[in-house]
């Protein structure tokens, strides 16, 4: 039954190619006829020639004729799971076709970890229609799998001649054989020493099967129906049975330029793009040291925002003799907001310390409320419940920023102080609400 369904898919595939070809010819003919508008005899001659040409195309896509031609062209392509052309598009060496992955393989991410190895096709781009034929499938069984098993069942309905069907089978089997393994001068090669004066010459091959698996995973996470529903549910803060998966810091590598089909079939289907997952080691960060007192905390803050403060200072000096306008106000607001964001990020670092760490320091209660939100002793709880600590923190931060921004050209006043307090207090209030929601 499966072979009968697959045979019908083969018939539909050939018919679709015929339809596409005839539509293209008809469009070209309609365009060509315009030059014979005033010459009816020439037009009649053109139509007679075109009718012959069109009939030849119809006969060419007769299933028996087309399968015979496809079987003859199959030797121009090779099915592989690891292809050399990803190293260099002009490399002429052979690839490798792995039939099955190793389910017991453990360790690094590689093609051996895949439950199903997707075959790719390399070779003459003009013969990729043969590749698409071999990859037709039903119930996860491809025509290719029948060819490997030497089973002609999907091909039998197209010819009653057993010898012809056997010829097709032999022709299509040529796509599975790349001949003797060979490398190329444009391939990468590694000399791997094994004993004194001896070595193995290794030729690394890119795994198209692994590239395809990663591509499918990323595309499903980005554009799959379930993925979109999960993402929408997360935005609405609603439950969804599927996790919202995100791949951060993805890079894209292009293969084949404007002709990705010259690399491989799957590369062409991917538009020549392959996703690279970020495998960088974690960035080194110094061990986080708790501030000993409030003064040390504010010293650390001044170091943290020194660059942003200098940028704001230069801007204020540059525009101090200009009339205020929308551009100046927007730029000033953006620079100030950036400093507030840096302050919050700096303060949030200390939230990773164990709860109650501030008891062993000389931090004022104002800074302790901000930096040690999990501390639960009565003194701090009562102080935090007053909800005035946010404005106190904002006022102290404003003092620090005013001192840092003060210069010979620019003096900071109560107006600037109030600006900082009004900008920062709502952010601290929202931070407190977020922390309470998470607790």
Establish if 79 belongs to a structural domain: yes
Last residue of a domain, one of 179, 195, 213: 179
Does residue 358 fall inside a structural domain? yes
In a domain, 252, yes or no: no
| 217 assigned to some structural domain | no
Cβ neighbour number for residue 134 with a 10 Å cutoff: 22
Locate 256 and state its tokens.
Answer: 């084949």
**Alpha helices in 2-150, H assignment, sequence order:** 2-33, 40-60, 63-73, 128-134, 143-148
- Tokens 């004066």 sit on residue: 197
Does residue 192 sit in helix, strand or coil?
strand
Domain end, chosen from 138, 160, 179, is at: 179
Judge whether 113 lies within some domain: no
The angle at the Cα of 155, spanning 153 to 161, to the nearest 5 degrees, equals: 100
d(CA 435, CA 439): 6
Q: How many Cα atoms within 13 Å fall on the side-chain side of residue 203?
A: 19
Q: How far apart are CA 15 and CA 435, in angstroms?
A: 64
- For residue 283, the model assigns a pLDDT of 74
- The CA-atom distances, in angstroms, between 121 and each of 84, 97, 280 are 11, 10, 31
Q: Are the CB atoms for 301 and 346 separated by under 8 Å?
A: yes
pLDDT at position 275: 93
Q: Are residues 33 and 175 in the same domain?
A: yes
Distance CA 249, CA 254 (A): 16
CA distance 257 to 344: 45
pLDDT of residue 113: 72
Domain membership flag for residue 215 = no
Confidence at residue 408, expressed as pLDDT on a 0 to 100 scale: 64
User: What confidence score (pLDDT) does residue 29 get?
Assistant: 87
Of 179, 199, 227, which residue is a domain's last? 179
Mean pLDDT by 10 residues, the chain (439 residues): 84 92 89 81 84 89 90 88 87 78 58 76 85 86 86 86 87 80 86 90 88 91 89 86 86 90 89 89 75 90 89 82 84 88 89 88 87 83 79 88 76 81 85 70
Q: Do 175 and 298 fall within a single domain?
A: no
Pair 163, 300 in one domain: no
CB 154 within 8 A of CB 168: no
Alpha-carbon distance 52 to 46, whole Å?
10
How many structural domains comprise the chain?
2
Which residue, chain included where needed, has tokens 């009816």? Answer: 40
**Domain identity same for 26 and 162:** yes
pLDDT value, residue 252: 92
Q: How far apart are CA 356 and CA 289, in angstroms?
A: 14
> Is 0.85 topped by the overall pTM?
no
- CA-closest candidate to residue 339, choices 406, 391, 394, 294: 394
Q: How many helices (H) and strands (E) does the chain have?
A: 16, 10
Show the DSSP H helices in 271-413 as ranges. 294-304, 306-319, 326-349, 365-371, 378-385, 389-405
Structural domain of 361: 294-438
Cβ of 344: how many Cβ atoms within 10 Å?
A: 15
Ramachandran category for residue 78: left, alpha or beta (phi over 0 → left; psi -120 to 50 → alpha): beta
pLDDT of residue 219: 92
Rounded Cα–Cα distance for residues 409 and 104 (Å): 71
In a domain, 369, yes or no: yes
Stated as kind and residue range, the H or E segment containing 228 is helix 225-235
Whether 375 is in a domain gets the answer yes
């Amino acid at each position: 039954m499966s072979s009968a369904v697959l045979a019908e898919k083969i018939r539909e595939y050939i018919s679709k190619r015929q339809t596409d070809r005839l539509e293209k010819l008809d469009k070209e003919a309609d365009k060509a006829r315009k030059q014979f508008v005033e010459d009816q005899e020439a037009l009649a001659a053109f139509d007679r020639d075109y009718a012959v040409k069109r009939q030849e195309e119809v006969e060419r896509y007769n299933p028996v004729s087309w399968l015979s031609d496809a079987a003859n062209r199959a030797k121009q392509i090779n099915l592989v799971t690891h292809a050399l052309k990803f190293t260099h598009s002009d490399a002429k060496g052979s690839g490798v076709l792995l039939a099955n992955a190793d389910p017991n393989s453990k360790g690094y991410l590689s093609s051996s970890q895949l439950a199903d190895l997707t075959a790719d096709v390399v070779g003459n781009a003009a013969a990729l229609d043969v590749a698409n034929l071999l990859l037709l499938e039903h119930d996860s069984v491809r025509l290719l799998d029948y060819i490997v098993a030497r089973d002609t069942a999907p091909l039998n309905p197209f010819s009653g001649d057993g010898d012809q069907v056997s010829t097709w089978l032999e022709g299509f089997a040529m796509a599975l054989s790349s001949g003797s393994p060979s490398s190329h001068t444009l391939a990468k090669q590694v000399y791997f020493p094994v004993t004194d004066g001896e070595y193995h010459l290794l030729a690394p091959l890119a795994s198209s099967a692994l590239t395809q698996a990663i591509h499918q995973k990323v595309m499903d996470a980005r554009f799959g129906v379930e993925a979109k529903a999960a993402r929408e549910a997360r935005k609405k803060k609603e439950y969804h049975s599927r996790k919202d998966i995100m791949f951060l810091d993805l890079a894209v590598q292009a293969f084949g330029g404007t002709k990705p089909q010259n690399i491989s079939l799957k590369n062409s289907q991917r538009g020549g793009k392959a996703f690279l997952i970020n495998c960088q080691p974690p960035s080194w960060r110094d061990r986080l040291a708790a501030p000993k007192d409030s003064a040390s905390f504010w010293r650390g803050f001044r170091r943290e925002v020194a660059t942003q403060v200098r940028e704001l200072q230069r801007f204020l000096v540059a525009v101090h003799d200009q009339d205020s306008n929308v551009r100046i106000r927007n730029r000033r607001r953006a620079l100030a907001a950036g400093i507030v964001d840096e302050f919050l990020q700096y303060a949030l670092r200390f939230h990773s310390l164990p709860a109650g760490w501030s008891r062993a320091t000389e931090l004022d209660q104002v800074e302790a409320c901000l930096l040690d939100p999990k501390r639960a002793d009565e003194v701090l709880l009562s102080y935090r419940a007053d909800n005035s600590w946010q404005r106190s923190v904002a006022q102290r931060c404003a003092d620090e920023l005013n001192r840092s921004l003060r210069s010979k050209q620019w003096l900071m006043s109560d107006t600037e102080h109030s600006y900082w307090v009004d900008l920062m207090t709502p952010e601290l209030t929202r931070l407190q609400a977020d922390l309470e929601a998470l607790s």
